[in-house]
Structure 1
Amino acid sequence: MTKTADSSLPWRITGLTADAKDIDDFLLTLATNDCSPQTLRSYAFDLLRWWRFMAAVGIRWDAATREDVRDLVLWMRQPHQAGSRAYSPTSINHMLSVLFVFYEHHARLGQGPVANPVPSAAMGMRRYEHHNPLAPYQPRKRAPYRQRVITGAPRALSHDLVNRVFTTLTSTRDKALVAMYLATGARASELLGMKTRDVDWGSHTIAVVSKGTRVYQWVPTSPDSLTWLRLYLGEMPLNSPEDALWRTLRRPYRPLQYSALRAMLVRVNKTLGTGITLHDFRHTCASRLPMTRPSLLPTYRPS
């Protein structure tokens, strides 16, 4: 998988010769339909997984059958290494949705198998699509091979665990970033895309580009998160309002990447023996919004 400089096709699957054009054509169609680069990246990863599976079992994409998709689902339901976990039901369902759209795209071009190897219920409609919110839900069957997703309580972090995370973090930047996660509920891509000009200190708001609508909008944050941000900016030289707000701590200073956030969280989980994800901070913010606690974040106390 390679990130390209081509804005019309920001992600490509490399290493394939005969089938690269078929995948590029599908991704290019998605990009033309105004799908975000994050969506293209997600779809490309699922296609790459499918191509690796087909290479392992010795089949071609245009000769795949429903039984091959069934075997893929069974493979994804099993852990593959000691200590590893199987793919989640939502990951499996997303994979099936991507493959269904991929094969539908090529069927319209007269390519691929005669029948879509990914089964779908109700002519490809999602369950409860176009449901009237005033009408009661009627039970509908899941499409074949789709997994049952049990919705439980959100993975919110306790106040004690948040304090332990802050104690484990070693840099002011990381503490400021986690504080902003917890105070705003913004996504990782939204925070990492911020510029220096995207902070309104007087109204306690920050500006982000929404992942879904890609609209530049202001969202409220807390005084505590701005305190951590002020301490971080006191250590980070920023010369222009167009500078990236979140940057590496060592020279040459560069915009912070998602991989660096993952590495930071890996260190935290290794120290605490936890399995916290970046999205858990978003759940934590959402679960604490109705609470009347005056402060949801560890308060800065100078030593």
Structure 2
Amino acid sequence: MNNEQAIELFIEAMKEEGKSKNTIKNYLSDLKTFEKFTGVGRGDGVLSARQNDITKYTQQLEKSGLAKTTINRRLQTLRTFYAKLSQMGVIETNPTIEIKAKKVARQNETKWLERHQVRAIFEAIDKQKQGEGKRALQRAIFSVLVNCGLRIQELCDIKMNDIDWNSGLISVVGKGGKFRKVPFNNATQRAVLKWLQYRNLDGEYLFHSERSDHMTPRAVQHMTKKLSEQLNFDFTVHQLRHTALKNIADTTGKIEIVATVAGHENVNTSKRYIEPSLKEIGEAMKRSEFDF
């Protein structure tokens, strides 16, 4: 087996385990970076790497000025890669067995939007010079994102029969094909019902575009970019999910509720919404600052 075959085998294994497209994309990018470091022409490249190669690679990453979180992600990719190859019997020795993650002080840098910023997004939608149908579509999409905390792919994959209007729930297919139900409350229901008045395709998906009966993440990202250009702040689709989950955390104070809505397998992933953000810490310290 050569270098490229090993990487392809690993990527296929990750797909079978239900890893997201974005995670797999990062795996591939990180492995290609390490492949360049080892030198593709040197034997089997990453397959012939030894512990000393990993150590030198780590040192190079540190000298490059990359954030420790980025370095840790790239090293974690290598640990996952070699552990899987070892498990599959492709290699005899795992060269990352002694490699440790770089210590990073735990501080919550997750970015979510303030209430006035969310209001500004919807006001920008209403001001756009486009048909009422397009405004209704965008209002529905951004309402679901910022109120239900869905991932962008989860939003695009909502089907008409996933909505239970009587119980106010949406059935969502999350990472790894896992199902969960997410509350679908009054304001969001009104926005979606408004969109349904203009929905002109008899397809199975709730949201469609002019070109397809299945809205794509790229199309939603394009909407977001255009809106962001009209505002005095930048925002991303994923920030809307963060905002929804932060709002739930602030309202309930219960990490289990946040984890259930978010579709997190491990409640520790949801801690970022319970823990204070750097901005909140800064504001608290500003209020308590000594000034003599």
1:285/1:109 CA distance change after superposition, 3 Å: closer
Q: Corresponding residue for 1:285?
A: 244
Choose which of 150, 153, 172 in structure 1 pairs with 2:136.
172
Instruction: Establish whether residue 55 from structure 1 lines up as the match of residue 36 from structure 2.
Output: yes
**Alignment size in residue pairs:** 236
Q: Corresponding residue for 2:7?
A: 23
- The CA distance in 2 between the partners of 1:175 and 1:147, in whole Å, is 42
Match runs of 1:1-303 below 5 Å? 19-32=3-16, 35-38=17-20, 41-55=22-36, 58=39, 60-64=45-49, 65-71=53-59, 73-74=61-62, 77-78=65-66, 89-108=68-87, 111=90, 114-117=93-96, 119-120=98-99, 143-144=100-101, 146-152=102-108, 154-169=110-125, 170=128, 171-211=135-175, 214-215=178-179, 217-239=180-202, 243-248=204-209, 250=210, 252-289=211-248, 290-291=250-251
Letter in 2 for 1:223: N
The Cα shift of 1:239 comes to 2.2
Greater relative CO (CA pairs within 8 A, separation 6+): 2
Letter in 2 for 1:27: I
* Secondary structure of 1:206's aligned partner: strand
1:205–1:218 Cα contact (<8 Å) kept? yes
Percent sequence identity over matched residues? 19
Q: TM-score, normalised by structure 2?
A: 0.68
Q: Which runs of 5+ in 2 are unaligned?
A: 129-134, 253-292
Letter in 1 for 2:190: T
* Secondary structure of 1:253's aligned partner: coil
1:286/1:213 CA distance change after superposition, 3 Å: same
- The CA distance in 2 between the partners of 1:58 and 1:70, in whole Å, is 16
Letter in 1 for 2:112: A
1:199–1:205 Cα contact (<8 Å) kept? yes
* Secondary structure of 1:207's aligned partner: strand
1:222/1:76 CA distance change after superposition, 3 Å: farther
Letter in 1 for 2:220: L
Q: Which runs of 5+ in 1 are unaligned?
A: 1-16, 79-87, 121-142, 293-303
1:108/1:156 CA distance change after superposition, 3 Å: closer
Q: TM-score, normalised by structure 1?
A: 0.66
2:224–2:236 Cα contact (<8 Å) kept? yes
Give the RMSD, CA atoms, in angstroms.
3.0
Q: Corresponding residue for 1:129?
A: none
Letter in 2 for 1:30: M
The structure with the largest helix share of the pair is 2
The Cα shift of 1:36 comes to 1.2
Letter in 1 for 2:75: L
- The CA distance in 1 between the partners of 2:221 and 2:60, in whole Å, is 28
